[in-house]
Amino acid sequence: MSSSASGTLTSTTVGDAGAPVVFLHGLFGQGRNFTQIAKGLLPEYRSLLVDLPNHGRSAWTDRFDYASTADLVADHVRAGFAADGPVHVVGHSMGGKVAMLLALRHPDLVDRLVVADIAPASGGSQGEFAHLLDSLAAIDLTTVTRRGEADEQLAARVDDARVRGFLLQNLRAADGGFRWQANLDLLRRDLSEIGGFPDVGDAAFDRPVLWVAGDRSDYVLPEHGPAMRRLFPRTTLVTLKGAGHWVHSEQPEAFVSVLRTFLAADDR
């Protein structure tokens, strides 16, 4: 694994040979969340795990906007990883929407697109994410001397230990205390923008697209089908049993299997 930075974004590369795959994480995430999936694609694929703006080691911005975020990703990928031609792109949740905009705005850069458990629509469980953001903001970092104390404070609002662990990956030791690596203030302020989907006019992406949904999630619904097919006419939908919204972490082996099948299929 190796790390690189270009402009405002930072990323990690897994593998040194094979077809290129770019991974874009969701809200609260980091590129490294896809490490297990990227290793599961070796040696046929090499992967770029991107920290999106306001997350991980990437720079913070003044506002959230899907189009400008997609353009930043395009610039970062073109700077090196896509030097030999188009790449496959996999995006989950918020990263899935960034991936859609990347394909629609920069179709020359994207060979195949995989969208994990999100639709090109507004809505979804914004209330859940608002609660999680408020819960993180409620932690008094001035009183935290070890990570376990932050977990104890968060447990008063978030019961699931696995969710708490995922959220607290954003906590970093600094200057004798702790700070948030993610830009929580911006994410809270612009959550409605994150939960929305921009008007893309009559744009469409005519390359193969795979939608991967969790059967325990309500982020991809039958009523989203028309918008998916209008923007991405060559869409295939796969639903993974036993998976909720975080399909790649809840069913990693199945997720890798469907990725491999889709990425290796004939282009018809």
Active site (catalytic) residues: 93, 185, 245
Q: 259, 114 in Cβ contact below 8 A?
A: yes
Q: 214, 250 in Cβ contact below 8 A?
A: yes
Distance CA 162, CA 166 (A): 6
Question: E strand or H helix at 49, and its extent?
Answer: strand 45-51
Distance CA 121, CA 239 (A): 18
Work out the angle at residue 8's Cα, subtended by the Cα atoms of residues 16 and 92, and round it to the nearest 5 degrees: 65
Structure-token pair, residue 101:
């905009």
